[in-house]
Structure 1
Amino acid sequence: MTRLSVEMLAADAPPPITSAGHAQLGIAVLVGIAVIVLLITKFKLHAFLALTIGSLALGAVAGAPLDKAITSFTSGLGSTVAGVGVLIALGAILGKLLADSGGADQIVDTILAKAGGRAMPWAMVLIASVVGLPLFFEVGIVLLIPVVLMVAKRGNYSLMRIGIPALAGLSVMHGLIPPHPGPLVAIDAVKANLGVTLALGIVVAIPTVIIAGPLFSRVAARWVDVPAPDRMLPQRASEQLERRPGFGPTLATVLLPVVLMLAKALVDIVVDDPADHTQRVFDVVGSPLVALLAAVIVGFFTLGRPAGFTRDRLQQTVEKGLMPIAGILLIVGAGGGFKQTLIDSGVGRMILDISEDWSIPALLLAWLIAVAIRLATGSATVATVSAAGLVAPLAADMSTTHTALLVLAIGAGSLFFSHVNDAGFWLVKEYFGLEVGQTVKTWSLMETIISVVAGGLVLLLSLII
């Protein structure tokens, strides 16, 4: 970004709520992030409360009037929830419907029936990637753990040889591919094109998941050669059902929103005429709201009806799908409030100046910021929403493709080295029956490989397109 474009951007932006200089703003950012980290890690405070308090601390140290800091936080929270809240809710409904109807089990069992021997790790990464599209990471783990343990036991595989590909598939989807909350928030923050981001995300995700999944699992299995733990396997959804949906309709339902959003992006590129009727139609059906809503409605018939769900059962599924996302919505919203406080305090301009003076590529800067917040807070979502707020001004002078790559750089950085302050670390450790050191050598290293490989591919793509 040139000095002229920085000055033009600053002239167009509203005046900051504080007159603090770069040094004071830098200290304010460090204090705000430190407060968030301390509250989450030391005092075990919910991330929503930690982000709220951290935003106010940031504003106070930056010298902003308290009423203006509160206004910035609440406006950022409101706009973020307005932008992605409905999408998160629809994704949660689709995921719950997929799990409860036995559709996820149908995908798993069909692919496993076709695979065996050396193909099994590749089958696991395929299963996790497909099932992980509409599911939150934690839900995906709980859903796939019985499959991982069953396959490892019956096939006499090392647990890592089967488990790492499944975890890699889930993690890559979670960090890079919308409609997961993190990528959606980053897209909203930097005003990226969702279809282009999705398309480039798939390009980055495929080699990343291959390297961090089936290939790394060979090394991980030698380092930590453990069998599947002898424990009671959780009951699978389909075991409680007399019948379940077919493989084809289930797969089509899961992929429907992705296909619609990619079709919109393709039409936008080929037609490139806002007045064209075809483009206007695809702009509607390919919007994330309509695409996900269509998948949910189609799912009622392709997933719920074959499983024998009554109208009351469908209503219960929708309600149960929405219940667990309250915390996620609040964290995402508070992250948006923190982002807006950063921008309104003048931190966005400071980041622009730093990137200009130090000649740091914007994509690398975004990745590094996300890495730092991820290491400190342990939360990929918090890292994504915070980093997106910090680097959002950098997107003002970017092309559509580079803005999408900025989102992917943030997502890649948010996955770096999961350790003891990350709930996912303990989830993997307990389910797989690992020691802390073994979890670091497998899960934590796998996350780091995903982050580095995806970040490197993003930088490479930025030189090509």
Structure 2
Amino acid sequence: MTRLSVEMLAADPVEPITSAGHAQLGIAVLLGIAVIVLLITKFKLHAFLSLTIGSLALGAFAGAPLDKVITSFTSGLGSTVAGVGVLIALGAILGKMLADSGGADQIVDTILAKATRRSMPWMMVLIASVIGLPLFFEVGIVLLIPVVLMVAKRGNYSLMRIGIPALAGLSVMHGLVPPHPGPLVAIDAVDANLGVTLALGVLIAIPTVIIAGPVFSKYAARWVDVPAPDRMIPQRASEQLDKRPGFGATLATILLPVVLMLLKALVDIVVDDPENVVQRTFDVIGNPLIALLVSVIVGIFTLLRPAGFGKDRLTGLVEKGLAPIAGILLIVGAGGGFKQTLIDSGVGQMILEISKDWSIPALLLAWLIAVAIRLATGSATVATVSAAGLVAPLAADMSTTHAALLVLAIGAGSLFFSHVNDAGFWLVKEYFGLNVGQTIKTWSVMETIISVVAGALVLLLSLVI
């Protein structure tokens, strides 16, 4: 939040939609989240419907007029989708181009061809991290798991020794690095600088993924020694292509939006003059919407043309790429509606006032709130958007770097201990042919390591920058 907007907020505070006291608001929050948890876990209701009903329940428990609750929810949904919807769509298109053109397989095959037996887990982390940049977690799993299974089977590797590093790379990118939906929503909620958040996210992601990936995989392979299930090794679609895009061109296309956003952040720091032509230029080309759009356009020539895609196939690819994100967009939007209901009810201000008397740091508070919601709902995205709405007022007087660290604290907390109420848990279980206990010993523990290590690094960085 800029200094100007903070001053405006202080001069003209927004009137809450309810006059409830702190105790009633606190109970309303707990009951609202409980409704969401119950609907998702007990009644297996879709997260979009659960968040919508939970938002209305929160307003009702807080004693707010229903018409104002509806207005808060719909305005929050609309502003959230407006803020991140196009970015999610562009990311989905780029991911689909990467998968269908064979570009992802080209990166995988090139890196694996140069890997030794000792370096293979590290190569899997590198592959998953690079591939995971523009892809949603579920898409990344579907894309990479066949590769993991083939490498494990053909090279006679422990499945966990290869699989855990790949999963760690995907999960860290998903929770900490924009342009993934969770970090984008949190950045929008706390008004953090995207470039700074991206740079700090990458800085934290590197040691986190090393510890949770190659290092932890040694122990996971001892705890759970299972072979790669033959039934889950499908034929790779890209083998049916006449030609695949080159390794260099594919890698450059994936990294292009990240480079453009980082350049914008660097220029903003070095030049620090909003009226400067150079800074204004990079503010445009480093805008996430422009950066992703440029990458998609470049991908048409670097990914699709070499693979023989014509105009008709391009249209079909875009349609197929957008279809799976409808549910994600609705969940993210409803999460934004829930966040706005929290804010308009005065919950954010309540937390701001109460936390002044606590000795607990704001970053740790954000991490703990995200952890609690993640454990309850099983959804990293729901945990991120809900926690961001609750702690957003804490960012008002933070520096640019600490606001970015607040986003990363939320992202780290949202990954804590995936268990049976998380769709990712069952996806990993089925693909790897594990039972519930084995999945907890490997996947769930890995997610917890990511959350704790990243959270600790966020707190450490907050002391030195």
Q: TM-score range by the shorter chain?
A: over 0.9
Counterpart amino acid of 2:288? Answer: P
Distance in 1 between the 2:391 and 2:237 partners?
A: 42
- Who is 1:422 aligned against? 422
Q: TM-score, normalised by structure 1?
A: 0.98
- Who is 2:453 aligned against? 453
Q: Deviations over 1:21-50 (max 9, x none)?
A: 000000000011000000001011110000
Q: Unmatched 5+ residue regions in structure 1?
A: 1-5
Distance in 1 between the 2:403 and 2:303 partners?
A: 36
- Who is 2:366 aligned against? 366
Distance in 2 between the 1:349 and 1:197 partners?
A: 24
Distance verdict in 2 for CA 1:443–1:400, change over 3 Å: same
Question: Conserved in 2, the CA contact under 8 Å of 1:332 and 1:382?
Answer: yes
Question: Conserved in 1, the CA contact under 8 Å of 2:146 and 2:232?
Answer: no
Counterpart amino acid of 1:23? Answer: A
Distance in 2 between the 1:142 and 1:129 partners?
A: 15
The correspondence of residues 334-413 of structure 1 with structure 2, limited to 5 A, is 334-413=334-413
Q: Do structure 1's residue 226 and structure 2's residue 250 form an aligned pair?
A: no
Question: Conserved in 1, the CA contact under 8 Å of 2:232 and 2:431?
Answer: no
Distance in 2 between the 1:399 and 1:280 partners?
A: 22
The correspondence of residues 65-464 of structure 1 with structure 2, limited to 5 A, is 65-464=65-464
Count of paired positions: 460
Q: Deviations over 1:92-141 (max 9, x none)?
A: 00000000000000000000001021100000000000000000000000
Sequence identity, in percent? 88
Distance in 1 between the 2:237 and 2:97 partners?
A: 11
Question: Conserved in 2, the CA contact under 8 Å of 1:9 and 1:396?
Answer: no
Q: Deviations over 1:203-244 (max 9, x none)?
A: 000000000000000010011111212225122121121111
Q: Unmatched 5+ residue regions in structure 2?
A: 1-5
- Who is 1:52 aligned against? 52
Q: Deviations over 1:272-326 (max 9, x none)?
A: 0001100000000000000000000000000000000001101111110000111
Distance in 2 between the 1:8 and 1:456 partners?
A: 34
Q: Deviations over 1:385-422 (max 9, x none)?
A: 00000000000000000000000000000000000000
Distance in 2 between the 1:234 and 1:364 partners?
A: 43
Question: Conserved in 2, the CA contact under 8 Å of 1:10 and 1:349?
Answer: no
Give the Å deviation of 1:20. Answer: 0.3
Q: Deviations over 1:121-173 (max 9, x none)?
A: 00000000000000000000010111101111111111000000000000000
Distance in 2 between the 1:406 and 1:13 partners?
A: 23
- Who is 2:3 aligned against? none
Question: Conserved in 1, the CA contact under 8 Å of 2:371 and 2:415?
Answer: yes
Distance in 1 between the 2:230 and 2:353 partners?
A: 56
Counterpart amino acid of 1:353? Answer: E
Question: Conserved in 2, the CA contact under 8 Å of 1:101 and 1:237?
Answer: no
Counterpart amino acid of 2:338? Answer: F
- Who is 2:14 aligned against? 14
SS in 1 for 2:233: coil
Question: Conserved in 2, the CA contact under 8 Å of 1:380 and 1:415?
Answer: yes
Counterpart amino acid of 2:318? Answer: V
SS in 2 for 1:118: coil
Counterpart amino acid of 1:336? Answer: G
Distance in 2 between the 1:442 and 1:9 partners?
A: 47
Distance in 1 between the 2:421 and 2:10 partners?
A: 37
Q: Deviations over 1:47-101 (max 9, x none)?
A: 0000000000000010100000000000000000000000000000000000000
Give the Å deviation of 1:8. Answer: 9.3
More displaced 10-residue stretch of structure 1: 220-229 or 386-395: 220-229
Counterpart amino acid of 2:463? Answer: L
Q: TM-score, normalised by structure 2?
A: 0.98
SS in 2 for 1:358: coil
- Who is 1:3 aligned against? none
Distance in 1 between the 2:10 and 2:60 partners?
A: 23
Counterpart amino acid of 1:188? Answer: D
Distance in 2 between the 1:381 and 1:230 partners?
A: 32
Distance in 1 between the 2:125 and 2:450 partners?
A: 13
Question: Conserved in 1, the CA contact under 8 Å of 2:175 and 2:411?
Answer: yes
Distance in 1 between the 2:34 and 2:11 partners?
A: 31
Aligned-pair RMSD on alpha carbons? Answer: 1.1
Distance in 2 between the 1:232 and 1:412 partners?
A: 30
Distance in 1 between the 2:374 and 2:18 partners?
A: 28
- Who is 2:34 aligned against? 34
Give the Å deviation of 1:10. Answer: 5.7
Distance verdict in 2 for CA 1:353–1:232, change over 3 Å: closer
Give the Å deviation of 1:11. Answer: 5.3
Distance verdict in 2 for CA 1:45–1:10, change over 3 Å: farther
Which portions of structure 1, spanning 4 or more consecutive aligned residues, are displaced by more than 6 angstroms? none
SS in 2 for 1:393: helix
Distance in 1 between the 2:347 and 2:152 partners?
A: 50
Counterpart amino acid of 2:112? Answer: L
Question: Conserved in 2, the CA contact under 8 Å of 1:339 and 1:390?
Answer: yes
